[in-house]
Structure 1
């Protein structure tokens, strides 16, 4: 399975299935997206025009569905769609947020706290400096094989690099991607 970072918090999963999480990408995904998942209603996670161009079914928290009058499935903790499990999330200034877990990949949106889940191979995590210690504490519990910071711009890449340094000190494997770069798991 391949996982590609498309910028912001947008991740493309290419394997048995083809999914997008948080469709506010900087570079376009490959053709044939089967389903789109959204973590929460902040505009840096959901762009209505980019979503529409994907022409795929939507799974999103209620505020996204109601705000834009969209048809789709409501993302609720405990539900599962096409093998993607919906887990808790804690996002500041969000009405409703979720995390997604699929075949070892955890996408946490903006959350600095993580659901207790086993078998995490790869976690995509925001890297806001105010929450470095929260991230580290969460990673020590869920023990991912690798952390990939996202939700930073090239101009602020230093934030991801500082985050990686802190994770390295705790012996937590971390890799910083460039927009469009792919990881095989």
Structure 2
């Protein structure tokens, strides 16, 4: 499986000639959706879904499938993915977990957020939900108004992945990224994927 990091929370998974894109938002590059066969969206915040980019991709490829939580799916006219569901997207096995966005303060933002475990790769969206399933590769949120370093470290320790790559990091400076990386590098097999570059896993 080839994993490519795009801006912020967006990644592409490619295997056997098929491509799955997760959370192509306004902070990610339009080319992240080029040639995509399926898209997974964790929740409705713009940094995780750019509706204009998504509609353009659907126009280019009418066979493109899009999966997201039921409320957003109904609004977009795409396929609902509820917690506990399992399905196949672009040839990948997907399980839906979580359900709620991490709290910032006073119960806000209070919106649904689903995480996706894709053949052992876990993208939690804006959540620190710890799934029951074993996780080989954790896509680890690195920044956000709902997150501090301690949260990220405790999340890694709870999930116990074989490896972790940071995501959700567009608002960090180079100094901030380096600082985050220094805290995490001793917690698991941890590495930062430069934007637009790929790693092979499994």
**Residue 194 of structure 2, aligned match among 169, 178, 184:** 178
**Residue 53 of structure 2, aligned match among 42, 45, 50:** 50
The CA deviation string for residues 14-43 of structure 1, in whole angstroms up to 9 with x for no partner, is 013411111222251364311111001111
Q: How does 1:1-150 map to 2 (within 5 A)?
A: 1-16=1-16, 17-24=18-25, 25-29=28-32, 31-55=34-58, 56-66=64-74, 69-82=75-88, 83-91=93-101, 92=103, 93-118=109-134, 120-128=135-143, 130-150=147-167
TM-score, normalised with respect to structure 1? 0.87
1:3 positional shift:
0.6
TM-score, normalised with respect to structure 2? 0.80
Higher mean Cα deviation, 148-157 or 1-10?
148-157
Q: Distance in 1 between matches of 2:152 and 2:171?
A: 21
Contact 2:21 2:33 in 1 (8 A): no
Higher mean Cα deviation, 41-50 or 137-146?
137-146
Contact 1:22 1:36 in 2 (8 A): yes
Q: From the superposition, tell whether residues 64 and 178 of structure 1 become closer, same or farther in structure 2 (CA, over 3 Å).
A: same
Please list every run of at least 4 consecutive aligned residues from structure 1 whose deviation after the TM superposition is greater than 6 angstroms: none
Q: Distance in 2 between matches of 1:158 and 1:177?
A: 16
Q: Distance in 1 between matches of 2:120 and 2:73?
A: 27
Contact 1:19 1:34 in 2 (8 A): yes
Contact 2:8 2:170 in 1 (8 A): yes
Q: Distance in 2 between matches of 1:81 and 1:157?
A: 38
1:88 positional shift:
0.9
1:154 positional shift:
7.5
Larger relative strand fraction: 2
- Aligned pair count reads 181
**Residue 175 of structure 2, aligned match among 144, 154, 158:** 158
